[in-house]
A and B are shown apart, each in its own frame.
Chain A
Amino acid sequence: MELLVASAIGVLTAAGIYLVLRQRTFPVIIGISLLTYGVNVFLFASGRLAVNLPPVLTKTAEGYSDPLPQALVLTAIVISFGMSAVIVMLALVAYLSADTDRIDMGAEKGEEN
């Protein structure tokens, strides 16, 4: 299981980085979202993995998964929505006012390689 989670995070991160390095706003936003998934799962996994041990206290439970990273990631998920919303808005406004969704300023003289 650990291998699956670790490799999934790795795949998400790799794709996220690749997309963030694109030239247009939309793939960059998608890339940041993928990175967010990766980072959130990473933070969550720092409490180590556990199956069928939710951190809800009961008399019969054999143990609990680590609640602290879960609480932190919960707010991180909501905050990352706020962040996505802001950059989406900025991307939209930039496109509407500049008529292009390129992320590079001065693209004419910028590197085109």
Chain B
Amino acid sequence: MTLFLIVLLPFVGALVPALTIRAGRDVCAAATGLISVTALGLLLAQAPAVMQGEVVHARLDWLPWLGLNANFFLDGLGLLFAGLILGIGVLIILYARFYLSKTDSMAHFYTYLLLFQGAMVGIVLSDNILMLLIFWELTSLSSFLLIGYWRHLPEGRQGARMALAVTGMGGLAMIGGMLILGDIAGSYDISVILENRDAIQASPLYVPALLLILLGCFTKSAQFPFHFWLPHAMAAPTPVSAYLHSATMVKAGLFLMARLWPVLSGTEIWFYLVATTGLVTMVVAALIALFKDDLKGLLAFSTVSHLGFITMLLGFGTPIAAVVAVFHIINHATFKCALFMPAGIIDHEAHTRDIKRLGGLRRLMPVTFVIAAIASLSMAGVPLLNGFISKEMMLEEASHTVWLGSDLFVPVLAPVGALFSVAYSFRYIGHVFFGPVRTDYPAKPHDPGFGMWIAPAFLVTLVVLIGVASDAMVGDLVATTSRAVIGSSELPYYSLKIWHGVTPALFMSIIAIVGGLVLLSAHRPLERLWRAISVFEAKAVFDAVVESIAAVGRRLTDGLHDGSMSRYAGVFFVTVLAAGGLAYFGGAVGAPTRDPLPIAVVPAIGWLLLVICTGCMIAYHRNRFLALVLMGVIGVIVSIGFAYLSAPDLALTQLSVEVVTIILLLLALNFLPRETPRESSQGKRLRDAAIGVVGGLGVGGLVYLMLMSDFAQPTISAFHLENSKTGGGGTNVVNVILVDFRSFDTFGEIIVLGIAALVIYAVTETVLRGETGRRLARWMPPEPGAGDRHPLMMVVATRVMMPIAIMVGVFIFLRGHNEPGGGFIAGLIVAIALVMQYMASGFAWAEARQRFPYHRMIAAGVLIAALTGIGAMIAGRPFLTSAFGYFQIPPMEEFELATAMAFDVGVFLTVVGAVMLSLESLSRIARHAGETVNLEPMDVMPEETETPEKETQ
């Protein structure tokens, strides 16, 4: 369970910065830090068991038959990575508190940071590859937010976009690879996959799976040729670079290679792909780093180089190389993070990161100098620091690696990479801190406050301690992690000590350090040469590729989407008809199995009316008012049809919906043109008519065939009929289905209805505020309105009818459970009663007498329905289970009370609220368009008729 908590904590905690920022920046940072510290504490509490060789599991089955489980496990590898993520996370939160300027939104930053942290922890603790993939994508998304944090800077936005494009693309490839892998192993659980090495490597799908997964790892870990996104991501604030781009996210690719190392490694293709990519990346990136003038650019390429270093070791496929890889992951995280933070400090204090404009900072910023120098020396691989030991061990492994039959290729190139590494490390020290103090810094540099240097100082302390006493410091951690990576409890012989004797690696080290120093001393001429030969700019290539893909996409979209809605609709109908035709002509239709019902005279007349009205609709639809009248007739016939065919509830609903729909369309028609012009050519009309006729024939034929044959299988309706009274306590089965059997459906539907009404409300609000609202205010009605807008007879009649109509509504509602009726119908009836007041006395008059707003009514309705459902859960039953009982209060008859009735109240309120909010919104537009507001309920008040006459006299 603790594992769930560790993963969830950062996600839940992502709310904390926004909640605490009002209490000040210190409180916000402290609260955020506390989240990470708590998660770290929970993790460390598990550490002793893991160090003993135990693997902590946490399982939560969600859809086990699909392999979708929320399973977490913690072994040595997970512990190391989760520890790095949370531990360095705490330091970064501290550092960022002082790094961010007053104008930067701290709450945003910490929220993104915690989201990222949660996603990273999720990756390293997942025991299910599908869940791992989700966390993987989450890191891409949250890092997008972090890199683009300074959204006002174009570099930040471009860098974020590039990072997302490259890592996102890799992530997509990886999804494919992981699915193949899970398919081969027969399980998506990592712990199961890890036990199926032989089956996986023997599978013909091993190579495609490997290629896809490596694509994901290489893009994430910025391996050549996907390395180019990382330097551009340096537009991010420095805490982000230090966190994501040195210690955590870019190591996700390495983590995955290490995680799957037991099953994927050891084959030739693994060796040549991974080791070669790593080697090339290490050398090329180190060379580029040497000539980067941007301090963070230098560090970015050095990171790429060191990631290549670790990738190469994993690629070697030998257990001892894997141990070295693990060790270097620890070392790199410590010294690289401790290098990024001083770079941020320098940027912060000197207002530039350009190495050419720096120099001589040793005297001005002594504390920063000491921190940066120690970390740099470790990166260069100078003895007594941790970087030295892992580099020594790497060179030792490289010295006896044979590549394509050549025993010189790797042993020569590896020290060359190390040599460049020494050169750029010393450049960081020499060109930034040494040399004369200058007078032309953009700002006067000085050491920052304690808060900003304590985090890197802590890290360099670790650098020194691990360097001096590696075994005591991290010996157990390396051993435990390595066992997890190798997948066996047997570790190869290795020793984490400074002096390994006179070995080839020692000579390589010496050559690298001396060569690196020589290279640096010749930096100026070499740089001119480099500038002359390097014409290749990865960003330009990337932009060109993206642009050409976008151009193809644009052409395709523009071709298909030309803005002609009727064409889309036509294509849609033709496609559907073709699919239906294909099914019809490809299948067999059985003979009718039911006897048709006799045709009575009255239904036949109704049918004739419907057909005539529909025909008239086609002929006269250009007269819009007439079209509405015809639509009303059709609706009424449909309602009567429902009543005739044993569906009283449907008849009631259809009738009342018909009324509100027609009123709604009338209100809208007030502003729309009264006529539809004749635009389409004869040919197009014929074509559309043909589509319509074919569609009508198809649907009609389908319905006829369906009606004439029995159900292929017994339906579930019998269950509802049987249990309606005994289980749901009502005799109106339709209503019991709505509020009881399928009340979850109904719950969803009233929410949809409420959302639709809120959309209408929101659209109205937006429109009335904008340009359209101003235009509307100048709107003139095309014809004069009725002289008697609020006729006396109508006002009086509706007032008298209002209580009666509402009583009918209440009656329909109350009887709904046992007789036709219920919340939907009652809601519509009450809405109609209210609308009548609007129509009779005008919108403004009615609104002034309205006690509560309709959107609150919708909310109340949905809440009541939800609370009814939750009530069942409190009583220990599933959501929305209903209960009922019979009561008697003398002298009344016995009556029934059911919780379903409370649910129906929710339905009722939502329906009234939604219908009224929609109509009200349209009326608001009318009012905005200059419709006058009357203060009296009718135009001519009977008792005041004397007064105007007197005045006129």
Proximity bits, A65-95, B CB within 8 Å = 1, else 0: 1111011011101111111111011111101
Give the number of residues in A that approach B within 8 Å (Cβ atoms): 92
Measured between C-beta atoms, what is the minimum distance from A2 to chain B in Å?
4
Total A-B residue contacts, Cβ distance less than 8 Å: 333
Which A-chain residue is minimally distant from B724 (CB atoms)? A57
Residues of chain A from 11 to 35 with CB closer than 8 A to chain B in the complex: 11-30, 33-34
Measured between C-beta atoms, what is the minimum distance from A66 to chain B in Å?
5
Measured between C-beta atoms, what is the minimum distance from A10 to chain B in Å?
2
Check B650 against A51 for contact (C-beta < 8 Å).
no
Contact A13 to B724, CB < 8 A, known contacts A23-B679, A85-B918, A88-B665: no
User: Within the assembled complex, what's the spacing in Å between the Cα atoms of A86 and B888?
Assistant: 46
Chain A CB within 8 A of B712 CB: no
Proximity bits, A24-65, B CB within 8 Å = 1, else 0: 111111100110011011101111111111111110000011
Contact A67 to B737, CB < 8 A, known contacts A9-B700, A22-B676, A89-B922: yes
Check B911 against A78 for contact (C-beta < 8 Å).
yes
User: Within the assembled complex, what's the spacing in Å between the Cα atoms of A57 and B704?
Assistant: 29
Chain A CB within 8 A of B18 CB: no
User: Within the assembled complex, what's the spacing in Å between the Cα atoms of A95 and B925?
Assistant: 13
**Could you say which of B753-761, B849-857, B940-948 contacts chain A?**
B753-761
Check B562 against A110 for contact (C-beta < 8 Å).
yes
Contact A2 to B707, CB < 8 A, known contacts A15-B692, A65-B647, A104-B564: yes
Check B700 against A13 for contact (C-beta < 8 Å).
yes
Chain A CB within 8 A of B771 CB: yes
Chain A CB within 8 A of B725 CB: yes
Measured between C-beta atoms, what is the minimum distance from B727 to chain A in Å?
12
Q: Which residues of B contact A96 (CB under 8 A)?
A: 671, 767, 772, 775-776, 925
Residues of chain B from 720 to 779 with CB closer than 8 A to chain A in the complex: 720-721, 724-725, 731-734, 737-738, 742, 745-746, 749, 752-753, 756-757, 759-760, 763-764, 767, 770-772, 775-776
User: Within the assembled complex, what's the spacing in Å between the Cα atoms of A44 and B372?
Assistant: 77
Chain A CB within 8 A of B657 CB: yes
Residues of chain B from 635 to 693 with CB closer than 8 A to chain A in the complex: 635, 638, 641-642, 644-650, 653-654, 657, 660-661, 664-665, 668-669, 671-673, 676-677, 679-681, 683-684, 688-689, 691-693
Chain A CB within 8 A of B824 CB: yes
Interface SS, A side: helix
Check B695 against A67 for contact (C-beta < 8 Å).
no
Measured between C-beta atoms, what is the minimum distance from A79 to chain B in Å?
6
Contact A68 to B672, CB < 8 A, known contacts A34-B614, A104-B565: no
User: Within the assembled complex, what's the spacing in Å between the Cα atoms of A75 and B599?
Assistant: 29
Check A46 against B706 for contact (C-beta < 8 Å).
yes
B759 interface neighbour in A29, A34, A86, A91, Cβ under 8 Å: A86
Which A-chain residue is minimally distant from B752 (CB atoms)? A79
A58 interface neighbour in B562, B696, B731, B746, Cβ under 8 Å: B731
Interface SS, B side: helix
Check B646 against A68 for contact (C-beta < 8 Å).
no
Check B566 against A22 for contact (C-beta < 8 Å).
yes
A11 interface neighbour in B569, B603, B696, B828, Cβ under 8 Å: B696
Residues of chain B from 599 to 650 with CB closer than 8 A to chain A in the complex: 599-600, 603-604, 607, 610-611, 614-615, 617-618, 621-622, 624, 627-628, 631, 634-635, 638, 641-642, 644-650
Contact A34 to B634, CB < 8 A, known contacts A65-B647, A67-B721: yes
Q: Which residues of A contact B573 (CB under 8 A)?
A: 17, 20-21
Measured between C-beta atoms, what is the minimum distance from B656 to chain A in Å?
9
Measured between C-beta atoms, what is the minimum distance from A89 to chain B in Å?
5
User: Within the assembled complex, what's the spacing in Å between the Cα atoms of A105 and B573?
Assistant: 20
Measured between C-beta atoms, what is the minimum distance from B900 to chain A in Å?
13
Check B738 against A71 for contact (C-beta < 8 Å).
yes
Q: Which residues of B contact A (CB under 8 A)?
A: 562-567, 569-570, 573, 594, 596-600, 603-604, 607, 610-611, 614-615, 617-618, 621-622, 624, 627-628, 631, 634-635, 638, 641-642, 644-650, 653-654, 657, 660-661, 664-665, 668-669, 671-673, 676-677, 679-681, 683-684, 688-689, 691-693, 695-697, 699-701, 703-704, 706-708, 710-711, 715-717, 720-721, 724-725, 731-734, 737-738, 742, 745-746, 749, 752-753, 756-757, 759-760, 763-764, 767, 770-772, 775-776, 818-820, 824, 828, 911, 914-915, 918, 921-922, 925
Q: Which residues of A contact B (CB under 8 A)?
A: 1-30, 33-34, 37-38, 40-42, 44-58, 64-68, 70-71, 73-75, 77-86, 88-93, 95-97, 101, 103-107, 109-113
Contacts A19-B621, A74-B649, A75-B824 aside, 15 further interface pairs with beta carbons under 8 A come to A2-B596, A4-B599, A6-B704, A13-B696, A14-B695, A22-B680, A26-B672, A34-B614, A74-B734, A77-B653, A82-B752, A82-B914, A85-B918, A104-B567, A112-B681
Interface pairs (28), CB distance under 8 Å: A2-B707, A3-B599, A4-B603, A4-B607, A12-B614, A13-B699, A14-B692, A14-B695, A18-B618, A20-B573, A21-B566, A21-B573, A21-B691, A24-B677, A27-B621, A28-B565, A33-B631, A48-B710, A51-B645, A67-B724, A70-B649, A70-B734, A74-B649, A81-B915, A82-B756, A85-B918, A101-B672, A104-B565
